[in-house]
């Protein structure tokens, strides 16, 4: 398949996505009802220049990460996503690799929960997409790259989130993270990035290596978390983890008890947004 066909498909699908469908303002004069190139670039986390070169057929070897990002930004269905992979000269991810496809229904869920912090992760706890309230709460995840997007890596080897834990809660949380990653490795034995992630964690974190060697077993259940936010102070929220049938995705939803100081602080966060905030 040539780059011209890939570019034409991107342009065609871009034209059919209304800005309001993806949480963008529809104001200003538009030559078409769909997304502008700069809007698609923003949603996919790639440069406008790269989007231009893709559409013009001048960039002919997009990576699977770029194709997946475009899939999510354009709200493609599963058959459309597979077709885009083929146009890029790539094989769509198979059943032995960690699924990262985000169904349009999950995208719509994020759109509708516009006032609630929500993030979607794959089976390895790699962040796929988050909404603005989540980024206001946990830090601007649009600035995270590579391993930083993986919650297990961030916890054991990165800066980690600004979440308070009692010693007992921390132990249970770490055990559940390692158990989740082990279960994913068992389900997707052919996934090389997952194997590399586990190897890096075992080398770099004695605590992870200890839990992995011990065959840690745990469940990542709903919990109450206190986030030490740099702008509004501590915010205690309920964190529920929802699963998506048939896709092995995890949706994390943070809510505050109505009428509490935490609810007021969360509401203030929605106003403050990610202004002057770095990743947490």
Average pLDDT over all residues of the chain: 86
What's the average model confidence in pLDDT over 83-101? 86
**Contact at 8 Å (CB) between 237 and 254?**
yes
Flag whether pLDDT at 79 surpasses 60: yes
Helix (H) or strand (E) run with residue 164 in it: strand 163-164
Contacts of 89 (CB under 8 A, 6+ apart): 1, 61
Give me the domains of the chain, ranges plus CATH numbers: 3-87 (1.10.260.40), 104-272 (3.30.450.180)
Q: How far apart are CA 11 and CA 35, in angstroms?
A: 9
pTM of the model: 0.74
Flag whether pLDDT at 280 surpasses 50: no
The model's pLDDT over 174-221, given as tens digits with 9 standing for 90+, comes to 999 999 999 899 888 889 999 999 999 999 999 999 999 988 776 666
What's the average model confidence in pLDDT over 25-44? 79
Flag whether pLDDT at 255 surpasses 70: yes
Higher pLDDT, 156 or 20: 156
Instruction: Determine how β-strand 118-121 pairs with β-strand 127-130.
Output: antiparallel
Q: How far apart are CA 25 and CA 228, in angstroms?
A: 31
């Amino acid at each position: 398949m040539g780059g011209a066909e890939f570019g034409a498909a991107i342009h065609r699908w871009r034209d059919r996505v209304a800005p309001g469908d993806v949480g963008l303002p529809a104001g200003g004069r538009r030559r078409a009802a769909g997304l502008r190139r700069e809007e698609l670039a923003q949603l996919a986390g790639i440069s406008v220049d790269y989007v231009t070169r893709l559409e013009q057929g001048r960039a002919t070897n997009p990576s699977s990460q770029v194709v997946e990002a475009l899939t999510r930004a354009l709200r493609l269905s599963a058959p459309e996503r597979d077709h885009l992979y083929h146009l890029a000269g790539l094989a769509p991810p198979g059943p032995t690799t960690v699924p990262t496809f985000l169904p349009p229904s999950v995208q719509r869920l994020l759109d509708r929960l516009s006032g609630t912090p929500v993030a979607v992760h794959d089976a390895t706890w790699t962040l796929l997409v988050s909404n603005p309230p989540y980024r206001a709460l946990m830090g601007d995840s649009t600035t995270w790259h590579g391993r930083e997007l993986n919650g297990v890596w961030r916890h054991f080897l990165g800066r980690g989130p600004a979440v308070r834990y009692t010693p007992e809660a921390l132990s249970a949380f770490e055990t559940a993270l390692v158990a989740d990653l082990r279960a994913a490795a068992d389900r997707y034995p052919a996934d090389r990035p997952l194997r590399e992630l586990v190897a890096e964690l075992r080398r770099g974190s004695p605590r992870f290596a200890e839990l992995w060697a011990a065959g840690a077993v745990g469940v990542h259940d709903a919990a109450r978390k206190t986030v030490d936010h740099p702008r509004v102070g501590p915010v205690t929220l309920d964190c529920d983890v929802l699963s998506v049938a048939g896709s092995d995705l995890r949706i994390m939803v943070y809510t505050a008890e109505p009428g509490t100081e935490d609810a007021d602080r969360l509401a203030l966060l929605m106003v403050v947004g990610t202004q002057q905030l770095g990743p947490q």
